[in-house]
């Protein structure tokens, strides 16, 4: 992480380069910059030339256009083009399906994490976030699924059985279909870990987050492919087995210490990428995103409209204490950013419904 403070003999432009690349002397080897960025699905590295278009050529060590080049675990070719001016300001260079030309790109340290925020050029609201990370995308994705989707203590919704604990730090669950701890593996779709868990010998589940806990739907190979597929590596060939019942679990406690109240506490703890929000929301996604967003306000005691959907929902939560007509001043930077990102994801889902 870049720790140098402003005003130490660097120009604003140099400081931005240091923040984004991880070092200033890029002439040594432009390929050997230090910073990776990710959105919890794809990774990116900054260059002063497009390494996908100039494949094999040595990237430039300076310029006015920064290319964030990367890809997913399945394919490369991902590129984000950013203009850098003399004042160190960054903005999106070209309009595409997700961003608009001129959207500001902001480097921030928020809640102990280094992030890039892309804001809407018209509203200045956050529309995407990228996090600095160590370059191991697979570990970030699997860690995200454990932390955002699975971690917690549960009880079977049908009342049979005891506590089931999904660990946040490893691929393990205790009390699931018997006593003791079981390890699992993440099934992959296009080389990317998915919300599908594989236990032992051909026992697999699609996991979905709900407002009450988790649903685990048993999986089987698609009839077109048969049992000969690799269940772990070819997860896109698995479908829900409608002959077997869905396992429903009610969440009773968090296993990550220090979290605030609510079904989506991490939304008040760390800035989340759109992929993380999508994982966290579960299904039905739009309805859960609405709860997630309003839960941030509810934690600060916001009074929802009497008789409205949110007033009814939060009125049933033991921790909710309605006190204030306006809690805007009480929101943290993390919460403000996440509210805007949730709204951006809600807008996208509605437009593509």
- Ranges 221-225, 263-267, 318-322: which has the least confidence: 221-225
Alpha-carbon distance 119 to 104, whole Å?
A: 5
CA distance 234 to 202: 13
Report pLDDT for 48.
Answer: 95
Query: Is residue 201 scored above 50 in pLDDT?
Result: yes
Burial code (b: 16+ CB inside 10 Å, e: under 16) for 108-130 equals bebeeebbbbbbbbeeebbbbbb
User: What does the pLDDT read at residue 30?
Assistant: 80
Residue 2 reports pLDDT greater than 70: no
Q: Indicate left, alpha or beta for 301 from its phi (over 0: left) and psi (-120 to 50: alpha).
A: left
Residue 135 CB: number of other CB atoms within 10 A?
13
Confidence (pLDDT) at 55: 80
Mean pLDDT of the chain: 94
Question: Is pLDDT of 241 > 60?
Answer: yes
Q: Look at residue 178 in the predicted model and tell me its pLDDT.
A: 86
Q: Confidence band (pLDDT; 50, 70, 90) for 182?
A: very high
Mean pLDDT calculated for residue range 100-105: 98
Domains of the chain by residue range: 12-136, 152-253, 281-351
pLDDT band for position 6 (50/70/90)?
very low
β-strand partners of 70: 44, 78
Split at pLDDT 50, 70, 90, the class of 179 is: confident
Contacts with 264 (C-beta within 8 Å, 6 or more apart), sequence order: 280, 288, 291, 292, 295
Give the per-residue pLDDT at 312.
97
In eight-state DSSP terms, residue 304 is: P
pTM over cut 0.85? yes
pLDDT over 70, % of the chain? 98
Residue 5 pLDDT exceeds 60: no
Predicted confidence band at 3 (pLDDT cuts at 50, 70, 90)?
A: very low
% of the chain with per-residue pLDDT over 90: 86
Give which of 8, 25, 35 is closest to 107, Cα–Cα.
35
Give the pLDDT band of residue 63 (cuts 50, 70, 90): very high
In whole angstroms, how far apart are CA 238 and each of 44, 183, 203, 335? 30, 20, 11, 37
Fold of 281-351: Methane Monooxygenase Hydroxylase; Chain G, domain 1 (1.20.58)
Once rounded to an integer, what is the mean pLDDT over residues 146-169? 96
Q: Collapse the DSSP code of 205 into the 3-class scheme (helix H, G, I; strand E, B; otherwise coil) and give the result.
A: strand
Say yes or no to pLDDT of 216 above 50: yes
Q: By the 8 A CB rule, do 58 and 69 touch?
A: no
CB 106 within 8 A of CB 129: no
pLDDT above 50 for 4:
no
pLDDT of residue 78: 95
Spell out the residues 6+ positions from residue 92 whose beta carbon is closer than 8 angstroms to its own.
Answer: 80, 81, 82, 83, 99, 100, 101, 102, 103, 105, 118, 121
Residues contacting residue 269 through CB under 8 Å, at least 6 positions apart:
111, 259, 260, 334
Cβ neighbours around 346 below 10 Å, total: 18
Interacting residues of 157 by C-beta distance below 8 A, sequence separation 6+: 212, 213, 248, 249, 250
Residues 165-187 have a mean pLDDT of 95
311-329: average pLDDT: 97
């Amino acid at each position: 992480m870049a720790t140098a403070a402003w005003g130490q003999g660097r120009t604003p432009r140099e400081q931005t380069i240091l923040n984004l690349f991880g070092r200033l002397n890029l002439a040594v080897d432009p390929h050997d910059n230090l910073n990776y960025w990710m959105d919890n699905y794809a990774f990116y590295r900054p260059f002063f030339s497009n390494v996908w278009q100039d494949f094999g050529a040595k990237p430039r060590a300076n310029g006015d256009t920064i290319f964030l080049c990367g890809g997913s675990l399945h394919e490369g070719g991902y590129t984000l083009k950013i203009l850098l001016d003399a004042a160190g300001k960054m903005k999106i260079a070209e309009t595409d399906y997700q961003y608009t030309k001129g959207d500001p790109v902001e480097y921030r340290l928020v809640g102990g994490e280094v992030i890039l925020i892309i804001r809407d050029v018209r509203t200045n609201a956050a529309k995407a976030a990228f996090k600095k990370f160590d370059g191991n995308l697979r570990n970030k994705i699997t860690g995200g699924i454990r932390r955002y989707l699975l971690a917690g203590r549960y009880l079977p919704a049908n009342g049979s059985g005891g506590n089931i604990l999904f660990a946040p730090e490893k691929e393990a669950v205790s009390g699931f279909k018997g006593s003791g701890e079981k390890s699992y593996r993440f099934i992959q779709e296009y080389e990317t870990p998915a919300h599908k868990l594989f236990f032992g010998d051909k026992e697999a589940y699609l996991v979905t987050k709900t407002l009450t806990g988790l649903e685990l739907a048993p999986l089987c190979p698609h009839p077109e492919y048969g049992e000969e597929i690799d269940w772990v590596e070819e997860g896109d060939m698995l479908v829900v087995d409608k002959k077997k019942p869905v396992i429903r679990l009610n969440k009773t406690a968090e296993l990550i210490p220090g979290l605030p109240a609510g079904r989506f506490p991490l939304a008040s703890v760390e800035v989340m990428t759109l992929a993380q929000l999508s994982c966290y929301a579960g299904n039905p996604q739009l309805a859960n995103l609405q709860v997630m967003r309003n839960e941030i306000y509810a934690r600060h005691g916001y009074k929802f409209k009497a008789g409205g959907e949110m007033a009814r929902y939060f009125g049933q939560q033991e921790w909710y204490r309605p006190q204030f007509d306006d809690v805007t001043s009480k929101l943290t930077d993390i919460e403000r950013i996440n509210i805007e990102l949730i709204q951006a994801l809600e807008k996208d889902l509605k437009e593509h419904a």
